[in-house]
Amino acid sequence: MSATPTTHTATPRRHRARLLVPAAIAVLAFTATTAAADTSPTTAAGRTATAHDRRAAEQKPRVMLDAWLRLWNGDLAQAPGIISPGFRVHAALLDGGDGSSIRGVDGLVAWIGQTRAAFRDLRFTIEVPPLVDGRYASVRWTATGTYAGGFPGAKAQPGTVVTFTGTDTLRMRDGRFAEYWVNSDTLSLLTQLQAL
């Protein structure tokens, strides 16, 4: 590699400096104009729009959680609008699985379908209002349903009404749920099904 003479490096630097100075001035002028526009007195309409935007951003997770509740209550058409294609589940399943086999919209819909087949009138209600923190939302629920039969090891008669509780924690990404952690009182459920 050859050394470049000092006189040749000074010229390109001066040339680059001549190109950068007008660009820097243009950026400063744009920034000053934008800053002046941003610091101008805010009208009542501007304050309302900003407050409205904040409220809308805060309400989006709650709207999604309402759709999530409807989904689990049997409105499976909600899934494509709120579930990410890469959706993942983390759960201690009754079959010993960890939920990793449940993926995407189709996997979740199939899982909900299996759950609802055992308890056809299963109804979830919110027990504690949702907690939302950035990309995460958590909600405490109660589920009540009539046992339809067919649960492995269950001695309860079909027609037995069961009630159990749980907590869903969901991670949101790009306006959809991307990841799901569920903790439910399976001990209570299995006891009511006389499966222990």
**Helical H runs in 40-120?**
44-72, 79-82, 104-118
CA separation for the pair 72, 113 (Å, rounded) = 9
Type of residue numbered 144: T
Asked if the model's pLDDT at residue 77 lies above 70, the reply is yes
The mean predicted confidence, pLDDT, of the chain is 78
Q: Is the dihedral of CA 102, 105, 110, 112 positive or negative?
A: positive
CA separation for the pair 73, 77 (Å, rounded) = 11
Q: Which residue has the tokens 């086999």?
A: 101
From 6-10, 59-63, 98-102, the region with the lowest mean pLDDT: 6-10
Average pLDDT over residues 37-54: 46
Kindly report the pTM of this predicted structure: 0.69
The pLDDT tens digits for 110-136 are 999 999 999 989 999 999 999 999 999
Q: Is the dihedral of CA 169, 134, 57, 48 positive or negative?
A: positive
CA separation for the pair 125, 186 (Å, rounded) = 17
Type of residue numbered 27: V
CB 195 within 8 A of CB 151: yes
**Euclidean distance between the first and the last CA atom of the chain, given in angstroms as a whole number:** 79
Q: Which residues are registered as beta bridge partners of 162?
A: 145
- What's the pLDDT score for residue 151? 87
39 pLDDT tier (thresholds 50, 70, 90) = very low
CB 193 within 8 A of CB 156: yes
The pLDDT tens digits for 136-183 are 999 999 999 999 998 889 999 999 999 999 999 999 999 999 999 999
- What's the pLDDT score for residue 50? 56
CA separation for the pair 135, 124 (Å, rounded) = 23
CA separation for the pair 138, 181 (Å, rounded) = 9
Residue 51 in tokens: 């407050």
Query: Which run of H or E residues covers position 167?
Result: strand 161-173
Residue 193 in tokens: 């099904």
